[in-house]
């Protein structure tokens, strides 16, 4: 991010003609404000702002444009680029707030949330060296998994992408300016580079799988930044005239309006799990951001003025700190509050207050150089401690020292790849159930002759039957019907965890359940089951734990299911904001379709803390018995 102070600093160092024309484009603060609002609400209210993650490519385009525009001005002014000054400015601009966040968050984790200490040293170092995106990729972290590996530093992947560009691009810029004299050819090079990056994203993306690799990769996200750099060659801010024909102004204003409308619509509706996003969607969004940046930067258009107001300026100037603190606040706060879903708006307001409060402190005392950042800051800090100062100042410095020491202690002592007993048991359970589910798909069991299993009234249940009756609170007749029933179970990780339990009651069950499965992208998988003849007349659906969906998306599922008898299990995810929205949707769909029966897992789970693992979502052994019992009693009732 480029701010007023950095532009002023650059202007003070270079006095060429082009340098004097530098201006701070206030409308870009407005665009930053919209981008950071999108990102925050994507995390706070994913059901309402499903495409808020698109604020990141908007930031990328702005960054690429401003950095390259300043490099071009410096080159025109001096015929060279002072690389040392460039890197020092970037460090002075970005590191103080980042280091403060990392040390402060680490101190909090060390004292109050020690379960997040795992791999903290590697996360800290990869964030400082701007390779956090590749570290997360190499360690199998997922940006989209709401229940595993969630970290207060997950969002730093985007800073790593920008940081890597800051390191490489100035050197590449110098080479291009020296050996490619025509700016048109440089623009062509950048354009081809953006296409290569976008095509690489499309090639590496695998539909139906977690898209984190292409979402995080510098190679697959560079196109947004380079589109901004491309704009700087075609649309240099110092060469744009304020006086343009009225028709040209109308065209610019219309283009800006269309691009802004496109971005706002995408923020609300373009979910990150849609395949379209990775097959050119992100590129198109970046192009829309490019057009909007161009119209804001042009002094002859009105968009710079329209996006300049006190609120947008306030948010835009603090967007870096807001972006830094939004995820740690959410992770720390929501770990302590287990009923987010029941009071979404209250908790959202509280989290926003915390985010903006910490961001304001960071902006005022860190970013605005109230604390002078120098390479010998630590040395100067301890010298200051020895000097005479007021009691208040002494307390302030002492508190900072304590936080830093606690943070460093946490970093030094943090374990690497630690797996708790609870996590190990959960992983083993997932593996067993996954293998069992795959076996039902590969080797489905055909039911035996029903007549041979018809009970005799005075016949005593077998020992195995008695165990099932006791464990799941079923009658002898229900157990026998369960053994005869052909059923297909389709769901997410909650249903996957119950595979072995469901097989006890329904030996002929076919289970297709996947960790992280979303309702809205399940139609294709359900159709595959149908095409293979594995979609039985009785279907058990367990979807919605991982996010929201719409009525239209559910209706697409029903179009595949047809007139089959469908049992719909609602969700219990009290730590996630979408719980009540999903359950309302499922209740409405059960009321709409005569062949759909709702199984109320949510209501049965109320107050049953001992049923769940530490994430409060996935049932433990006790909870799995209750989950299976609820399902079996509903399906097998008279």
Tell me which residues are annotated as active site. Answer: 493, 615, 618
Strands 538-542 and 487-491: parallel
511: three-class secondary structure by DSSP:
strand
Measured between alpha carbons, how far is 72 from 240 in angstroms, rounded to an integer? 14
- Which among 146, 150, 86, 79 is positioned nearest to 118, based on CA atoms? 150
Number of C-alpha atoms within 13 angstroms, CB side, residue 473? 9
Q: Are 201 and 214 in contact (CB under 8 A)?
A: yes
474-509: burial string, b at 16+ Cβ within 10 Å, e else: bebebbbbbbebebbbbbbbbbbbbbbbbbbbbebb
Q: Are 326 and 19 in contact (CB under 8 A)?
A: no
Q: Are 297 and 304 in contact (CB under 8 A)?
A: yes
Q: Are 166 and 249 in contact (CB under 8 A)?
A: no
Neighbours of 177 (CB within 10 A): 18
Measured between alpha carbons, how far is 492 from 485 in angstroms, rounded to an integer? 22
Residues belonging to the chain = 638
Q: Are 567 and 634 in contact (CB under 8 A)?
A: yes
Element (H, E) at 569: strand 565-569
Measured between alpha carbons, how far is 239 from 231 in angstroms, rounded to an integer? 13
């Amino acid at each position: 991010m480029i701010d007023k102070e950095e532009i002023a600093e650059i202007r003070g160092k270079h006095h060429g003609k082009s340098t004097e024309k530098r201006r701070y484009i206030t409308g870009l603060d407005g665009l930053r404000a919209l981008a950071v609002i999108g990102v925050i609400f994507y995390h706070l209210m994913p059901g309402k702002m499903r495409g808020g993650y698109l604020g990141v490519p908007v930031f990328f385009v702005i960054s690429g444009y401003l950095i390259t525009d300043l490099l071009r001005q410096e080159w025109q002014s001096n015929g060279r680029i002072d690389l040392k000054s460039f890197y020092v400015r970037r460090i002075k601009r970005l590191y103080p707030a980042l280091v403060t966040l990392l040390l402060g968050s680490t101190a909090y984790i060390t004292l109050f949330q020690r379960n997040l200490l795992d791999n903290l040293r590697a996360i800290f170092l990869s964030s400082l060296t701007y390779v956090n995106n590749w570290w997360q990729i190499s360690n199998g972290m997922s940006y989209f998994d709401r229940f595993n590996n969630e970290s207060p530093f997950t969002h730093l992947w985007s800073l790593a992408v920008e940081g890597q560009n800051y390191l490489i691009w100035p050197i590449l810029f110098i080479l291009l300016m020296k050996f490619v004299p025509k700016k048109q050819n440089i623009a062509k090079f950048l354009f081809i580079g953006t296409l290569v990056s976008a095509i690489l994203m499309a090639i590496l993306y695998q539909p139906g799988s977690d898209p984190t690799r292409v979402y995080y990769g510098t190679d697959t996200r560079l196109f947004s930044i380079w589109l901004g750099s491309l704009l700087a060659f075609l649309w240099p801010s110092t060469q744009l005239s304020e006086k343009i024909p009225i028709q040209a102004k109308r065209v610019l204003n219309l283009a800006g309006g269309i691009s802004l409308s496109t971005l706002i619509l995408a923020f609300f509706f373009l979910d990150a799990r849609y395949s379209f996003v990775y097959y050119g969607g992100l590129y198109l969004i970046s192009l829309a951001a490019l057009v909007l940046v161009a119209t804001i930067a042009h002094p002859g258009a009105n968009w710079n003025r329209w996006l300049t107001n006190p609120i947008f300026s306030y948010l835009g100037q603090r967007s870096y700190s807001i972006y830094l603190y939004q995820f740690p606040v959410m992770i720390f706060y929501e770990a302590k509050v287990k009923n987010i879903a029941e009071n979404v708006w209250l908790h959202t307001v509280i989290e926003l207050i915390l985010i903006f409060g910490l961001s304001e402190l960071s902006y005022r005392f860190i970013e605005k150089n109230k604390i002078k950042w120098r390479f010998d800051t630590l040395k100067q800090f301890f010298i200051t401690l020895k000097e005479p100062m007021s009691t208040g100042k002494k307390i302030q410095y002492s508190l900072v020292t304590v936080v830093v020491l606690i943070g460093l202690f946490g970093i030094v002592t943090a374990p690497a790849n630690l797996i708790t007993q609870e996590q190990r048991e959960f992983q083993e359970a997932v593996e067993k159930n996954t293998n069992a589910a795959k076996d039902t798909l590969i080797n489905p069991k055909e039911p035996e002759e029903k007549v041979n299993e018809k009970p005799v009234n005075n016949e005593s249940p077998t020992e195995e039957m008695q165990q099932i009756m006791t464990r799941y609170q079923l009658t002898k007749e229900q157990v026998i019907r369960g053994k005869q029933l052909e059923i297909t179970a389709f769901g997410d990780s909650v249903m996957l965890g119950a595979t072995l339990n469901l097989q006890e009651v329904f030996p002929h069950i076919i289970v297709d359940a996947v960790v992280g499965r979303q309702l809205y992208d399940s139609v294709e998988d359900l159709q595959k089951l149908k095409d293979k003849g594995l979609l039985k007349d009785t279907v058990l659906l367990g979807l919605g734990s991982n996010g929201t969906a719409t009525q239209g998306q559910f209706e697409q599922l029903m179009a595949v299911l047809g007139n089959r008898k469908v049992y719909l299990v609602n969700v219990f995810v009290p730590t996630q904001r979408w719980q009540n929205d999903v359950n309302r949707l499922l209740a409405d769909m059960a009321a709409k379709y005569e062949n759909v029966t709702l199984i109320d897992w949510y209501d049965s789970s109320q107050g049953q803390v001992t049923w769940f693992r530490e994430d409060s979502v996935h049932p433990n052994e006790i909870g799995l018995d209750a989950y299976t019992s609820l399902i079996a009693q509903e399906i097998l009732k008279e």
